[in-house]
Amino acid sequence: MIPQKKLFKPWLIAVVLLAAACSDDSQSNNSETLAETKSDVLIPQALPYSIVNQFPHDVGAFTEGLEYHDGFLYESTGQYGQSELRKVTPETGEVVKSVKMESRYFGEGMTILNNKIYQLTYKSGKGFVYDLETLKQESSFVFSNAEGWGMTNNGTHLIFCDGGNVLYFAQPGTMQIVKQLNVTDEHGPVNEVNELELINGYIYANQWRSERILKIDTTTGKVVARADLNGLRESAGIPQFSGRPGQPDVLNGIAYDAKKNRIFITGKNWPKLFEVRLDN
Ligand SMILES: [Ca+2]
């Protein structure tokens, strides 16, 4: 047995004091780390909006997907028994071509990639591929998400969401997921990300049941800016959301004309399509 007194040595005191000093240093470092973490939280920039133009929009269109291509808007509409894929003249709202979906499908997000239109359905786990020119349905695909919401693409992959805060990057056709991006802002995950549009390298998304448009960094998933479009409906004479059938529903639909740098916004059953300026 080692005598107890032999454990009490001056070097041991030095070690204890050193440990205490290190502990203080460590706390100090932690404080600095916390401060850095706090300063790293990105407060999204506020994006002011202005209305550039107002065009007619079919109040019968429960807009779920909207994209601009070569002079026309392509629109996917929802509701069982009413879902369609449409080709629309933006300035007049005229539907120049449309295909009706089977009544068991509820149309959702859509996007155009390599002269094909990809369209999600809401709860069927199935999507469709159409020829861009004829709108003829060419094939279908399946996906494992419980719900399909918005969709856009980056020239290579389809990018879609399912009601949560995740953006899924998928191979067209197989729907194999190659990347997932969590959308977050200064408060944490941002859920119910809905209709999507890739504009100048950022994903713009409207958030379901809000009049907000989020600008999302495609590398980090962080919301870098937000446009609050509260007041847009009022200024255009569109009644506020009431939930009553036949009345204008929520804001949904973002499309971008890259050649003319025009952003189009509309909503489900809205009588108007807006050309707006954000930071474009
Ligand atoms: Ca879109």
Chain-wide mean pLDDT for the chain? Answer: 89
Q: What integer pLDDT is reported at residue 157 of this predicted model?
A: 98
CA 145 – CA 95 distance, rounded (Å): 31
Band of residue 257 on the pLDDT scale cut at 50, 70, 90: very high
Question: Up-side HSE of residue 259: CA atoms within 13 Å toward CB?
Answer: 5
* Amino acid, single-letter form, for residue 241: F
Protein residues placing their CB within 5 Å of the ion ligand 1:
66-67, 197, 254
Which residue do the tokens 């399909």 mark? Answer: 148
How far, in Å, is the centroid of ligand 1 from the Cα of 120? 12
What's the confidence (pLDDT) of residue 1?
A: 38
Instruction: Using the predicted structure, report yes or no on whether residue 277 has a pLDDT greater than 50.
Output: yes
CA of residue 277 to ligand 1 center, whole Å: 16
pLDDT at residue 163 tops 80: yes
Residues 62, 268: contact at Cβ < 8 Å? yes
| 103 pLDDT more than 80 | yes
Q: Would the pLDDT of 24 be above 90?
A: no
Burial class (CB in 10 A: 0-12, 13-18, 19+), 16: exposed
Q: Which residues contact 205 (CB under 8 A, 6 or more apart)?
A: 150, 161, 183, 193, 194, 195, 196, 197, 213, 214, 216, 254
Q: Please give the distance, rounded to the nearest whole angstrom, from the Cα atom of residue 70 to the centre of ligand 1.
A: 14
The alpha carbon of residue 65 and the mean position of all alpha carbons in its chain are separated, in whole angstroms, by 11
- Across residues 195-206, what is the average pLDDT? 98
Token couple for 161: 């969401």
Correct CATH for 45-277 of 3.40.190.120, 1.10.3720.10, 3.40.190.10, 2.130.10.10 = 2.130.10.10
Distance from the alpha carbon of residue 212 to the mean position of ligand 1, in angstroms? 15
User: How much is the pLDDT for 18?
Assistant: 42
- Each residue's pLDDT tens digit, 75-91: 999 999 999 999 999 99
CA of 160 to the centre of ligand 1 (A): 10
Token pair listed for 193: 């990300």
Ligand 1 centroid vs 155 CA: distance in angstroms? 14
Q: What are phi and psi of 160, to 5 degrees?
A: -140, 170
Answer yes or no: is pLDDT of 99 > 50. Answer: yes
Return the minimum-mean-pLDDT range out of 38-47, 89-98, 207-216: 38-47
How far does the centroid of ligand 1 lie from the alpha carbon of residue 124, in Å? Answer: 21
What's the average model confidence in pLDDT over 5-18?
42
pLDDT, residue 86, reads 98
Distance 10 CA to ligand 1 centre (A): 73
Spacing, Cα 195 to ligand 1 middle (Å): 6
206 alpha carbon – ligand 1 mean position (Å): 10
Distance from the CA of 203 to the center of ligand 1, in angstroms? Answer: 10
Which pLDDT band holds residue 39 (cuts at 50, 70, 90)?
low
Nearest CA to 233 among 246, 242, 225?
A: 242
What is the whole-number distance in angstroms between the Cα of residue 5 and the centre of ligand 1?
78
CA 264–ligand 1 middle distance (angstroms): 9
Q: How far is CA 218 from the centre of its chain?
A: 11
3-class state of residue 206 by DSSP: strand
Distance (angstroms) between ligand 1 centre and the Cα of 153 equals 9
Q: Tell me the Cα Rg of the chain.
A: 26
Q: Residue 11 burial by CB count (10 A; 0-12/13-18/19+): exposed, middle or buried?
A: exposed
* Tens of pLDDT, residues 210-251: 999 999 999 999 999 999 999 899 989 999 999 888 899 999
pLDDT score recorded for residue 40: 72
The answer to whether 71 touches 87, Cβ cutoff 8 Å, is: no
b (16+ CB within 10 A) / e for 236-273: eebeebeeeeeebbbbbbbbbbeeeebbbbbbbbbbbb
Burial environment of residue 30 by CB neighbours within 10 A (0 to 12, 13 to 18, 19 or more): exposed
- The count of other CB atoms within 10 Å of the CB of residue 21 is 10
pLDDT at 147 over 50: yes
Q: What is the pLDDT of residue 38?
A: 53
104 Cα to the center of ligand 1, angstroms? 23
Q: What is the 108 CA–ligand 1 centroid distance (Å)?
A: 11
Q: What are the domain boundaries of the chain?
A: 45-277
Distance 196 CA to ligand 1 centre (A): 5
Whether 177 has a pLDDT exceeding 50, the answer reads yes
